[in-house]
Amino acid sequence: MQISKWREPLYGLLFLLLAGLMIGLLSLLFRPARSDYGAVWGPYLAEPEDSLDYLYLGSSYAYCDVDPVEIYARTGLTGYVLAGPEQTLSQTYWYLREALKTQSPELVMLEGSALGFRQYENYTQVNVGYMPFGFNQLGAVFTASEPELRTGLLFPLYFYHGRWKELTLSDAAAALLPGGIDDLKGFTPVSGICAQIVDGPFEREAQPDTVYAENLSWLERIAQLCRKEGIRLVLVLHPTYSQLPARLRMQIAEDAAALDIAFYDWTGDGALLGITPALHYYDPGHLNQEGAAIFSAWLGDFFTETLALVPRTQTQENAAAWIQVLARRAAAPDAA
């Protein structure tokens, strides 16, 4: 009699569990695999725990401009670019929380163009949708995402159910099988030269003061998290021809100082860093592969000489893995 009483609720619970498992599996299966242009969580999580000296966070200016392998070749420092396209500071805060679950970097470099972003930009589905499921993704869904996207972010099958028509076996394997370590360490090289660069620099549109104030509040939360974890935070603006207004950059400098955040504005310093506009910009906002190599080599010197960052002791296995990455890069330089 007791068994009969509980049979239907248990069957109902089992059905819900199986349905949830099936929805989760199909969500992973239909969602496109992601390995470049930011939001590359799979390769990041494949890095050995507590093996990275620094993390580089921010928008596409981070993942197009910064090549951690170039920095490693120059300094021995290990790092990863965990950025996202048009990534807002609210999203970056949750990225950092999630990233620190597996790494304990001495330094967080924050590319600061998002201080000039709107509350929501164009790639929330990518930036938040590819985060590992858990508290931090839920935090990003409810505090850093457009309300109209939340259903699909909570249930990715809502976004991707139509992909069943185009799904291939290789797509399925890439989506379901564990990813390996990324030789590019979050960097996405782009090739080409911007023909219109001679018409620049180009000033970006400033956002209302209320939007800036909201962005600044998220910067403060990032700074508080770094202080709590004993991590040095450095805020930077990259050398670019798509520039935040000078007035805003002065305001950022004042506000960063008030928050006790180290701030470096390299917006107009491209020539001093060895960057030639007619050769090294893919578009007004991003360096091409050759420009990124120059900037990353300079960054390596900045890390060691200005910030006095010293490589941590690596396991023999991980040290060999980075050396192998360098060897593969030397054998096929165009792959970077």
pLDDT in tens, 110-148: 999 999 999 999 999 999 999 999 999 999 999 999 999
Token look-up 């869904």 returns: 141
- Give the CA angle between residues 283, 287, 290 to the nearest 5°: 125
Pairing of strands 262-265, 54-57: unpaired
Cα 50 to the center of its chain, rounded Å: 18
Q: Domain for residue 308, yes or no?
A: yes
| Cβ–Cβ under 8 Å, residues 61 and 281 | no
Q: Which residues contact 303 (CB under 8 A, 6 or more apart)?
A: 54, 71, 75, 77, 107, 309
pLDDT higher at 270 or 166: 270
Q: Domain for residue 163, yes or no?
A: yes
Domain that holds residue 276: 31-335
The strand pairing partners of 56, in sequence order, are 81, 109
pLDDT at 6: 65
DSSP tag of 59 = S
Long-range contacts, stretch 152-157, CB < 8 angstroms, 24+ apart: 152/125, 153/124, 153/125, 153/128, 153/129, 155/23, 155/27, 156/27, 156/28, 156/30, 156/31, 156/129, 157/23, 157/26, 157/27, 157/30
> Which of 59-68, 102-111, 192-201 is predicted with the least confidence, judged by mean pLDDT?
192-201
Q: Domain for residue 20, yes or no?
A: no
pLDDT at 162: 63
Please state the φ and ψ torsions of residue 151, each to the nearest 5 degrees. -60, -50
| Cβ–Cβ under 8 Å, residues 260 and 223 | yes
| Cβ–Cβ under 8 Å, residues 236 and 263 | yes
Cα–Cα dist 125/197, whole Å = 31
Q: Which residues contact 178 (CB under 8 A, 6 or more apart)?
A: 42, 46
Q: Name the amino acid, one letter, at 236.
A: V
3-state secondary structure of 94: helix
| Total number of domains constituting the chain | 1
pTM: 0.89
Distances (CA, A) of 127 to 66, 141, 153: 19, 10, 10
pLDDT, mean over the chain: 89
| Cβ–Cβ under 8 Å, residues 146 and 93 | no
Q: Domain for residue 47, yes or no?
A: yes
Q: Domain for residue 14, yes or no?
A: no
Q: Domain for residue 208, yes or no?
A: yes
Q: Domain for residue 263, yes or no?
A: yes
Distances (CA, A) of 227 to 55, 232, 272: 15, 7, 32
Average pLDDT over residues 196-216: 89
Cα 313 to the center of its chain, rounded Å: 25
Q: Could you tell me the CATH number of the domain that includes residue 309?
A: 3.40.50.1110
pLDDT at 1 exceeding the cut of 50: no
pLDDT at 287 exceeding the cut of 80: yes
Cα–Cα dist 127/43, whole Å = 15
Element (H, E) at 23: helix 2-30
pLDDT at 176 exceeding the cut of 90: no
3-state secondary structure of 84: coil
Q: Domain for residue 9, yes or no?
A: no
- b/e map of 221-257 (b: 16 or more CB within 10 Å)? bbbebbeeeebbbbbbbbbbbbbbeeebbebbeebbe
Task: Dump pLDDT digits (tens) for 2-49.
Answer: 556 666 676 666 666 665 565 556 556 666 777 788 999 999 999 999
Q: In what order do the strands lie in the sheet with 107-111?
A: 79-81, 54-57, 107-111, 232-237, 262-265
Task: Dump pLDDT digits (tens) for 77-109.
Answer: 999 999 999 999 999 999 999 999 999 999 999
